[in-house]
């Protein structure tokens, strides 16, 4: 879904680029013409290629220097020239912008200036003919506003608007403007002289009044000064009298105070001496206490350092012993593990040897059993002949065969140097395996020939024990005898 949206967006961008996407800046007007007419400023739009045309129109300000090329008579018929600076631009009003496109499309600023200068100069000439020279010179703003108001309709028909209109200078042929200046200067000087004379008169009057007032003030001041001086001398005498009395009292009081002060000084000096000695004693005691504390601190610090050193040495010794004990323990554990591994290996080896011996014995016993079965089959063919011999002959044959069977079963054991048995009952089991092997032979005879060797032996032993006479049995036939065969 995302890829589909991205593809559609890319397709739209390609289509917009092919169709003709345009965006106008704020200081330019884009004019699209052809199938439709559209003017855009500071916005975006679409232009259809080959069917629509795109033109650009600058909206920047244009400076125009407007001068009257020749002298123009004023309302007083005084010939003058005027120099002015005008700022104007193409209007953004849709109606005026359309007119500007018709007049100045694809034109540069110089072309617009050339077209506007004539219009502005003509309007300025009209206003000059309507106003007096003094009025224009003294009120340039009014002159500029009138020219601007007069020129606006003409400029609007071109699609332009005036931003500012400033008059730079006025000049005339006969120096009237200078004469106006001289007259103004004379009037100003006259008014200044009159004002100065009046000012001087006022100053003289004010000076006379000031002198009179100053003399009155001086006489009154001198009178008041004399009165004040007389009062001052009387007051000084009274004050001198009071001062003498006060001085005598003060001298007496001074002597008394001096004695009291000296007494106080002596007492204070004695007290100060006592206090100084007490302070010195206190300072000595404090110095002794401080010295004791310093010594105690040094001794304690040294003791703490020795204690810390001893503790660290003890900790180091303890760590050393612990590490040595751990090392010994680790070596013992490794040695025990090694001995255990060796014992387990020896046990496994002996078990493997016993298993091999047992396997060899079982294999040889199986071979003997197979041989016995084969011989039993041969004996079975001779069963009829052997039956006439009776049980005694059979027993005799069995007794002769049993030692050989036992010898063959035990023969593999002769090759064994040593047998180590682990666990309870293993020796009994070995003997049991050998006996079982022999028993398997007797059971094979019972199964193949129908001769129960065990029953025959028990029967024979039982009859012998009861005192029964032994049955005569013929000697067994020797198969190797050629005459018997």
Task: Give the pLDDT confidence score for residue 270 in this predicted structure.
Answer: 81
In whole angstroms, what is the distance from residue 19 CA to residue 299 CA? 102
* Neighbour-count burial of 319, counting CB atoms closer than 10 A to its CB (0-12 exposed, 13-18 middle, 19+ buried): exposed
Do 37 and 14 lie in a common domain? Answer: yes
Do 1 and 39 lie in a common domain? Answer: yes
In whole angstroms, what is the distance from residue 155 CA to residue 190 CA? 48
In whole angstroms, what is the distance from residue 125 CA to residue 351 CA? 141
Q: 34, 59, 84 — which closes off a domain?
A: 59
Bridge-based pairing of strands 44-46 and 21-23 is antiparallel
Contact call for residues 168 and 144 (beta carbons, < 8 A)? no
In whole angstroms, what is the distance from residue 393 CA to residue 474 CA? 8
Q: Classify residue 350: in a domain, yes or no.
A: no
Task: Give the pLDDT confidence score for residue 475 in this predicted structure.
Answer: 45
Q: Classify residue 241: in a domain, yes or no.
A: no
CA distances from 477 to 385, 471, 485 (A): 9, 18, 9
- Within 10 Å of residue 361's Cβ, how many Cβ atoms? 20
Q: Classify residue 285: in a domain, yes or no.
A: no
Task: Give the pLDDT confidence score for residue 103 in this predicted structure.
Answer: 86
Do 134 and 155 lie in a common domain? Answer: yes
Q: 174, 207, 236 — which closes off a domain?
A: 174
Do 132 and 74 lie in a common domain? Answer: yes
Cα three-residue angle 433-436-438, rounded to 5 degrees? 115
**Angle of the 453-465 helix axis to the 426-449 helix axis, nearest 10:** 90
Do 85 and 44 lie in a common domain? Answer: no
Do 51 and 79 lie in a common domain? Answer: no
Bridge-based pairing of strands 38-41 and 62-67 is unpaired
Contact call for residues 75 and 46 (beta carbons, < 8 A)? no
Q: Classify residue 151: in a domain, yes or no.
A: yes
Token couple for 178? 């200078």
- Categorise residue 20: left if φ over 0, alpha if ψ from -120 to 50, beta otherwise: left
Q: Classify residue 225: in a domain, yes or no.
A: no
167 contacts: CB under 8 Å, gap ≥ 6? 82, 83, 84, 140, 143, 144
Indicate yes or no: pTM above 0.75: no
Strand arrangement of the beta sheet that strand 38-41 belongs to: 38-41, 28-34, 52-58
The gap between the terminal CA atoms of the chain, to the nearest Å, is: 109
Do 367 and 438 lie in a common domain? Answer: yes
Contact call for residues 171 and 81 (beta carbons, < 8 A)? yes
Do 3 and 38 lie in a common domain? Answer: yes
Do 97 and 14 lie in a common domain? Answer: no
Q: Does residue 79 sit in helix, strand or coil?
A: strand
3-state secondary structure 347-397: HHHHHHHHHHHHHHHHHHHHHHHHHHHHHHHHHHHCHHHHHCCHHHHHHHH
Do 31 and 91 lie in a common domain? Answer: no
In whole angstroms, what is the distance from residue 441 CA to residue 376 CA? 10
Q: Does residue 107 sit in helix, strand or coil?
A: coil
CA 169 and chain centroid, separation: 69
In DSSP terms, which residues pair with 67 in a beta bridge? 83
Q: Which domain holds residue 419?
A: 360-465
Q: pLDDT tens digits for 147-171? A: 888 888 988 898 888 888 888 888 8
CATH number of the domain residue 89 falls in: 3.30.479.30
Q: Classify residue 108: in a domain, yes or no.
A: yes
Q: Classify residue 191: in a domain, yes or no.
A: no
Do 66 and 160 lie in a common domain? Answer: yes
Q: Classify residue 401: in a domain, yes or no.
A: yes
Nearest to residue 105, comparing CAs of 65, 54, 62? 54
In whole angstroms, what is the distance from residue 276 CA to residue 166 CA? 97
Query: What residues in the chain have per-residue pLDDT under 70?
Result: 1, 7, 9-19, 179, 181-193, 196, 376, 379-380, 382-406, 408-485
Do 69 and 137 lie in a common domain? Answer: yes
Token couple for 383? 């069963």
CA distances from 485 to 99, 237, 302, 467 (A): 158, 204, 124, 37
The count of structural domains within the chain is: 3
Q: 136, 153, 174 — which closes off a domain?
A: 174
* Neighbour-count burial of 310, counting CB atoms closer than 10 A to its CB (0-12 exposed, 13-18 middle, 19+ buried): exposed
């Amino acid at each position: 879904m995302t890829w589909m949206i991205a593809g559609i967006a890319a397709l739209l961008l390609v289509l917009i680029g092919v169709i003709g996407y345009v965006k106008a800046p704020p200081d330019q007007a884009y004019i699209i013409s052809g199938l439709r007419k559209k003017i855009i400023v500071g916005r975006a739009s679409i232009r259809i290629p080959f069917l629509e045309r795109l033109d650009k129109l600058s909206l920047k300000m244009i400076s125009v220097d407007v001068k009257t090329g020749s002298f123009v008579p004023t309302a007083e018929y005084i010939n003058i020239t005027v120099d002015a600076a005008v700022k104007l631009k193409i209007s953004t009003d849709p109606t005026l912008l359309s007119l500007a496109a018709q007049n100045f499309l694809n034109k540069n600023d110089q072309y617009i200036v050339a077209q506007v200068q004539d219009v502005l100069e003509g309007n300025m000439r009209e206003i000059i003919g309507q106003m007096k020279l003094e009025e224009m010179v003294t009120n340039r703003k009014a002159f500029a506003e009138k020219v601007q108001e007069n020129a606006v309709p003409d400029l609007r028909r071109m699609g332009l608007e005036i931003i500012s209109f400033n008059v730079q200078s006025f000049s005339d042929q006969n120096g009237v403007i200078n004469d106006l200046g001289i007259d103004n200067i004379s009037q100003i000087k006259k008014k200044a002289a009159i004002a100065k004379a009046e000012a001087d008169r006022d100053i003289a009057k004010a000076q006379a009044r000031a002198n009179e007032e100053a003399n009155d003030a001086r006489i009154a001041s001198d009178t008041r000064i004399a009165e004040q001086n007389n009062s001052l001398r009387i007051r000084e005498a009274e004050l001198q009298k009071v001062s003498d009395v006060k001085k005598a009292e003060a001298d007496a009081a001074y002597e008394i105070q001096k004695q009291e002060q000296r007494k106080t000084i002596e007492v204070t000096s004695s007290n100060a001496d006592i206090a100084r000695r007490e302070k010195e004693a206190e300072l000595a005691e404090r110095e002794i206490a401080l010295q004791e504390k310093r010594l105690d601190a040094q001794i304690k610090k040294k003791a703490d350092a020795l204690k810390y050193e001893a503790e660290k040495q003890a900790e180091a010794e303890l760590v050393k012993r612990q590490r040595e004990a751990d090392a010994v323990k680790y070596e013992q554990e490794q040695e025990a593990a090694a001995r255990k591994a060796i014992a387990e290996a020896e046990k496994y080896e002996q078990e493997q040897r016993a298993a091999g011996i047992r396997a060899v014995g079982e294999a040889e016993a199986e071979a003997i059993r197979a041989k016995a079965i084969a011989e039993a089959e041969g004996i079975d063919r001779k069963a009829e002949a052997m039956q006439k011999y009776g049980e005694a002959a059979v027993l005799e044959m069995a007794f002769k065969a049993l030692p050989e069977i036992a010898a063959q079963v035990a023969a593999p054991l002769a090759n064994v140097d040593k047998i180590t048995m682990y666990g309870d009952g293993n020796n009994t089991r070995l003997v049991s395996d050998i006996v079982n092997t022999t028993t398997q032979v007797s059971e094979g005879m019972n199964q193949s020939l129908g001769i129960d060797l065990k029953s025959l032996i028990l029967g024979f032993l039982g009859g012998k024990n009861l005192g029964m006479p032994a049955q005569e049995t013929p000697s067994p036939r020797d198969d190797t005898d050629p005459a018997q065969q």
